[in-house]
Each structure stands twice: as C-alpha cells, then as structure tokens.
Amino acid sequence: MVNDIKSFILNALKRSNIYVSGSKLAAELSISRVALWKHIKALKEAGYTIESNHKGYKLISVPDLLLPFEFDKWSNRIYHFDEISSTMDMGKNLLKNNDFIIIVAEKQTKGRGRFDRFWYSQKGGIYFTYCIKSDLPLLYGSKIVLLFAVAIANTMNELFNVDAKIKWPNDIIINNKKVCGILTEMTAELDKIKQINVGIGINVNNEIHKKMKNAISLKEALNQHIDRKALFKKLLVNIENELLKVKSDNILDIYKNLLLTLNKKVSIKTIDDNIVGTAIDISSDGALLVQTDNGEVKKVMSGDCLHLT
C-alpha cells in the first residue's frame, strides 16, 4: 500500500510540467497533507529531486535506480536494495505470505552463477530474483526456467532488435557473447514444488570485468546507454505473460526457436562427468539430448555447455 501511494504521486508528478497541488494530491489519495509531505520526503530521500512551494510539487529529476514505486503494478512485490550479498539468498527469507516477490539489487557482493561461481554484479546492470510460491508438480520446475529464458530473449529482441538467443540451458547470448545468466533454486515437498527462485543477472550499462572474456553488455552491443527502468518494466510484463503458458504444450517449440545449441557439437561439464557429442534435441523436461560419437544418446539435465562448432 505504501509503495502504491508513492507510485501514484510519482506518476502524477511525471505527467505534469507544472507544479501539482498538494491539496489535490492529498484529496485524490484520501490522505492528509502531512501524510503526503511524508511520502514526498521519502521520495526525496530515495534520490528524486522534487521542488515544492505554495503552488505544490514539481518533479525535477529521477535517479537511475530500480525503485519499487517506478513499477506501479509490481510496486508492492518489489524489495529494492542498493547493495546486498545476493538477491537469491535474500529471496529465501522474504517470500512468506506472498505468492511471488521480486528482490532487486543495484549491486551484489556475492552474486553467484552455476556451480557457485562468482557473478560480477557492479552497478549499471539488472540483478534480481523472482521468487514464486507454487503447488505445481515437480515436472513444471524446468518448464518455468525455460519460460524465463524465453521472456528475457524476447524482451531484448523486442526492445533492441539484437537477435538474442539462448545457449542451453539458459544463458542469453548476443554476438556470440553472454549478456545474461539465469540461476534456479527450488524447494519441493514430495512431488510438488514449494518454492522456486529464479535469479537473473543482465549486463546492461555495467562495465564487464576483464576476466569475463566471453561476456558483453547491452550498452556495448548497441553502443548506447540503456534505459534500465524501461527494460526492467518490459521484462516484468513478458515474464508475467510467459508464466501463464506454463501448462501449455508448445513451450518447448517456443524455447527451441530461440536455442543456439541444437545440432551443434558440444562439450558439457556436469558435476561428475564431461559429455562430448552433438546436441540433437530437448526432452519434454528441458534436458539436452546429446548423441556421442559412438551413437549413444545421453540425457543431460544440467551443466556447463560449450559450443565446439
């Protein structure tokens, strides 16, 4: 509710090039002038420059931050942090009575990818964990992850026409370099999902660490500064729309249309094996089917995939 009020105030100020009456705002919100002033004060403390005089309030500038009240539909679902260790770790603790929440950080100090590898998360990127409470059967867990990958690739293509593709299982690739990674953690009871946390790190305007030779940012790919708020808002819309398809029969077709890995020679490092062969298909549960040189077809549920051709 609190973030809804701030969203309303922000939208009213953004729509106007002149001062907006405080009395009018308070009346529209059914709150006192004192309560309105407290919300304005909180917005200023969050980084918004708002002028005030006897005519009312006027928005002068907004911070480049992914603050909840910038995303009115999701304002009470988003928990925003300037800096935390990991959005994944925070997500485990905050879901509670909500069916879903979104943990967003401007910077992570202990961001991680598959196999607990460190994920460089400097300011300028988009780092968030989408936490979902569910009672779906376990088989839908992998499908949910596929839908997130599809949503991200489609968002980039719709906004920037960059021909973003997916490298199995869920890396988003532009110009043969990784622009986004997805990490999934799930808890279950018996044969049902209890909670699934999908962590997403997107290189947007952040500098790419020199150790990350095969990574790219959207800013670098497009040679322009990216509006992170517009990107994040579009992404939230697309994620919501894709999740509605979780029980659809054509999820795999949608995913495979964006997949770079099929028909390529690959080397996949799993926890206890290294599999080399040709990626021939995706199974119904999202596993990669790899045909080795001796003709054996192996089903790989997860791992690091390297394209050899």
Residues 146 and 240 in one domain: yes
SS3 sequence of 152-171: HHHHHHHHHCCCCEEECCCE
Structural domain boundaries, residue 298: 265-307
CATH number of the structural domain spanning residue 298 = 2.30.30.100
pLDDT tens digits for 145-188? 999 999 999 999 999 999 999 999 999 999 999 999 999 999 99
Residues 94 and 153 in one domain: yes
Under 8 Å between Cβ of 165 and 260: yes
Residues 6 and 86 in one domain: no
Using the predicted structure, report yes or no on whether residue 71 has a pLDDT greater than 70.
Answer: yes
Q: What local confidence, expressed as pLDDT, does residue 190 receive?
A: 82
Residues 238 and 269 in one domain: no
Cα–Cα distances (Å) from 299 to 199, 232, 294, in that order, read 24, 34, 15
Adjacency order of strands within the sheet including 297-300 = 297-300, 288-291, 274-282, 265-269, 304-307
Residues 25 and 78 in one domain: no
pLDDT tens digits for 241-295? 999 999 888 889 999 999 999 999 999 998 888 999 999 999 988 899 999 999 9
Q: What local confidence, expressed as pLDDT, does residue 142 receive?
A: 87
Average pLDDT, the chain: 92
Under 8 Å between Cβ of 78 and 85: no
pLDDT tens digits for 98-130? 889 999 999 988 877 665 677 778 899 999 999
Residues 114 and 229 in one domain: yes
Residues 13 and 137 in one domain: no
Among 61, 95, 110, the domain boundary falls at: 61
Which two three-digit tokens encode residue 46? 């969050």
Residues 28 and 93 in one domain: no
Among 61, 84, 109, the domain boundary falls at: 61
Under 8 Å between Cβ of 32 and 26: yes
pLDDT tens digits for 126-144? 999 999 998 899 888 888 9
Structural domain count, the chain: 3
Residue, of 236 and 115, whose pLDDT is higher: 236
Residues 166 and 87 in one domain: yes
Residues 53 and 82 in one domain: no
How many CB atoms neighbour CB 243 within 10 A?
16
CATH number of the structural domain spanning residue 175 = 3.30.930.10
CATH number of the structural domain spanning residue 52 = 1.10.10.10
Percentage of the residues of the chain whose pLDDT score is greater than 70: 98
Residues 202 and 116 in one domain: yes
List Cβ neighbours of 38 (8 Å cut-off, separation of 6 or more). none
